[in-house]
Every structure is written in structure tokens, then in C-alpha cells.
């Protein structure tokens, strides 16, 4: 496995692979890898001939009050996981290479970036769409892999890729969960034991929504209210949003449809967690 901090060298390796007719798969990450990331690299390994992962804690997608400086960094462990999962090359660029002082271009997805995560984290998605555009242009993959856990993010990346005519197929892979249902996340390691116990109720609330959709006649706003009531009843969970939305536009659903997505963001202690689940209505 090649570990490369140079953007130019990474491009050279990828181009050489593509010239040899190999299909290139790409998994961008911020490191602090967990089995969810591993499953993305494994999916790329199954589909593609040359697998590139990147590890870059992207400063522009963190707000000024957010956890950029304390975001977990553990390069050696991450590289081992990449190697074990079958990556061929891991790009580990410096912030100064990605954002020289002269940089002044942003890629902005307008509508999709304004709701839910975008409303709660101003500027977050500008940072995401800009860095992913850059990484796509450096790694020039045929396919790129994202987790469903960041549902809005994968929608945004799909939109951006289509809108900018990037010749890349976006693949979304299922959320990986702990035994009690908590979605795997690099931020779970911030949780104390008590908080970790509370956090599982986010998954429980999504399960409740799933059940109400499949087995009751409740409307989406009623189901969303059930999720909020459930989470508020637990205690120690600060719900930022809990909604039932259109799967493509993320607009809140007022009427039952054939399917929808339930999305939750909540703070448990100082740790902000998100999760989501596709709902099928009966």
C-alpha cells in the first residue's frame, strides 16, 4: 500500500492505474476509522481494481465552535485499517497543500445544503462540497464511496457530482451499527459511559418511526413528534432535529408517501450525533 501526502504523486499513481485500464475506487475519510469506513474500502475493493482512500481532517467543514482541534487523529492505526481493508493508496495531504493561503474558491450546493445539517452547521456543506470536488479532481476515481450514515452528505455529493458533470459514480453503503444499534461514528469515542447508554436511544427513536410508518396510519409530522417525545423522555438528549423527509429533497413530508427518510441530530453531552433510517409506509 502506498502512503502519499503529495497531490501530484497521487494523481500520477492513479493515472498510471487508469492508463492500464484499471477501474479506480475512492473513499474519502477524515481518519479515526471505524468498521463503517472499513466497509466502504472493502466495497471499493470488491468493485474496483485500484482503491484510493484519503485521510484528511478538513478544517473548512468545521464551524468555529466545533471540534476540529480535538477531532481524533490516529494515523498509524488508520493506515493499518486501510491496508487490512485492501486499499492500494492512501492520500494523507497537509492542510497547506489542500488550502494554500491564496485559495479562494468554494463549491456550493444551494438548496440541499441549507436544511437540517446545513441549517445547524452554517458553512459545513460548503466545506464538504469544496473538499470533495478537490479530492475528486486529485484522485480522479471512476467510483466514490460514502456512508448512508451521513445521509444528507451523500445526497449533496450526488447533486454536486451531477451538477458539475464530474464523471464519477457515487456509491452509498449501508450504515454500520454497534450491537445495540448505535450508528458507528468517529465521534462516538467522545461519549462517556452514561452518554453512550443514552446515545442508543437515537437508534431506538428511528426504530419507533419505522414501526409507526409500517404499522400505523400516523402522518409523517405525527411520527416525527413521536420521535421527539421519545428522545425527550430519555433525558440528557438535546434534540436538534427529528424529521421525516422526502428521500431526495429532504423537504419535510406532510403526507404519507411510499417511503421517506427519518433523520435525527442530537447532542448527548457535548457530543453531536446524527443518524437516519429509510421508512417504508404500509
Contacts with a second copy by CB under 8 A lie at: 7, 11, 102-112, 129, 133-134, 137-138, 140, 159-160, 162-167
In the complex with a second copy, the residue whose CB is nearer, 73 or 108, is: 108
Q: How far apart are CA 258 and CA 278, in angstroms?
A: 11
Q: Which of 13, 34, 37, 124 is catalytic?
A: 37
Q: Which three cell numbers stand for residue 131?
A: 473538499
Q: Are 91 and 166 in contact (CB under 8 A)?
A: no
Kindly report the number of other CB atoms within 10 A of residue 130's CB atom. Answer: 21
Smaller CB separation from a second copy, 90 or 160: 160
Closest listed residue to residue 157, CA positions, set 168, 15, 173? 168
- Per DSSP, the residues of 173-192 read EPPPB-TTSPBP-GGGGG--
Rounded to whole angstroms, the Cα distance separating 31 from 13 reads 21
Closer of 158 and 201 to a second copy (Cβ): 158
CB of 136 to a second copy, least distance (A): 9
Supply the minimum distance, in Å, between the C-beta of residue 100 and a second copy: 8
The answer to whether 87 and 52 have CB atoms below 8 angstroms apart is: yes
Whether 85 and 38 have beta carbons less than 8 Å apart is answered as yes
3-state secondary structure of 198: helix
Angstrom distance (rounded) from CA 173 to CA 176: 9
The residue (of 18 and 267) whose beta carbon lies closer to a second copy is 18
Least Å distance between CB 190 and a second copy?
Answer: 32
> Taking Cα atoms as reference points, which of 94, 96, 97 lies closest to residue 73?
94
The position carrying cell 430519555 is 234
Catalytic site includes residue 37: yes
Measured in degrees and rounded to the nearest 5, phi and psi for residue 169 equal: -90, 125
Cα dist. 12→86, 90, 275 in Å? 20, 13, 37
Determine the length of the chain. 282
Between 137 and 270, whose beta carbon lies closer to a second copy?
137
Closest separation in Å from C-beta 281 to a second copy: 24
- CB nearer to a second copy: pick between 23 and 74: 23
Report in angstroms how near the CB of residue 96 gets to a second copy at its nearest: 14
Find out whether 214 and 281 touch, Cβ atoms under 8 Å.
Answer: yes
Please report how close the Cβ of residue 43 comes to a second copy at its closest, in angstroms.
24
Active-site residues, by number, are 37
Amino acid at each position: 500500500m502506498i502512503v502519499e501526502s503529495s497531490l501530484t504523486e497521487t494523481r500520477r499513481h492513479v493515472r498510471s492505474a487508469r492508463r492500464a485500464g484499471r477501474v479506480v475506487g475512492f473513499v474519502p475519510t477524515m481518519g479515526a476509522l471505524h468498521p463503517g469506513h472499513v466497509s466502504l474500502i472493502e466495497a471499493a475493493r470488491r468493485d474496483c481494481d485500484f482503491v484510493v482512500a484519503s485521510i484528511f481532517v478538513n478544517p473548512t467543514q468545521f464551524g468555529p465552535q466545533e471540534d476540529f482541534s480535538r477531532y481524533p487523529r490516529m494515523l498509524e492505526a488508520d493506515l493499518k485499517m486501510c491496508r487490512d481493508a485492501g486499499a492500494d493508496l492512501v492520500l494523507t495531504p497537509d492542510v497547506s497543500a489542500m488550502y494554500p493561503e491564496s485559495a479562494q474558491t468554494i463549491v456550493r450546493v444551494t438548496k440541499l445544503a441549507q436544511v437540517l445539517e446545513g441549517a445547524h452547521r452554517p458553512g459545513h456543506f460548503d466545506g464538504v462540497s469544496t473538499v470533495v470536488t478537490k479530492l475528486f479532481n486529485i484522485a480522479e476515481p471512476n467510483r466514490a464511496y460514502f456512508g448512508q450514515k451521513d445521509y444528507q452528505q451523500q445526497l449533496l455529493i450526488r447533486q454536486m457530482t451531477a451538477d458539475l458533470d464530474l464523471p464519477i459514480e457515487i456509491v452509498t453503503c449501508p450504515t454500520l451499527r454497534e450491537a445495540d444499534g448505535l450508528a458507528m461514528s468517529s465521534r462516538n469515542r467522545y461519549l462517556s459511559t452514561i452518554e453512550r447508554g443514552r446515545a442508543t436511544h437515537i437508534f431506538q427513536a428511528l426504530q419507533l418511526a419505522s414501526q409507526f410508518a409500517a404499522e400505523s396510519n400516523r402522518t409523517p409530522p405525527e411520527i416525527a413528534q413521536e420521535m421527539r417525545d421519545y428522545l425527550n423522555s430519555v433525558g440528557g438528549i438535546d434534540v436538534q432535529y427529528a424529521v421525516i423527509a422526502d428521500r431526495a429533497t429532504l423537504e419535510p413530508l406532510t403526507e404519507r408517501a411510499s417511503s421517506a427518510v427519518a433523520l435525527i441530530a442530537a447532542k448527548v453531552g457535548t457530543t453531536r450525533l446524527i443518524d437516519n433510517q429509510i421508512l417504508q409506509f404500509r
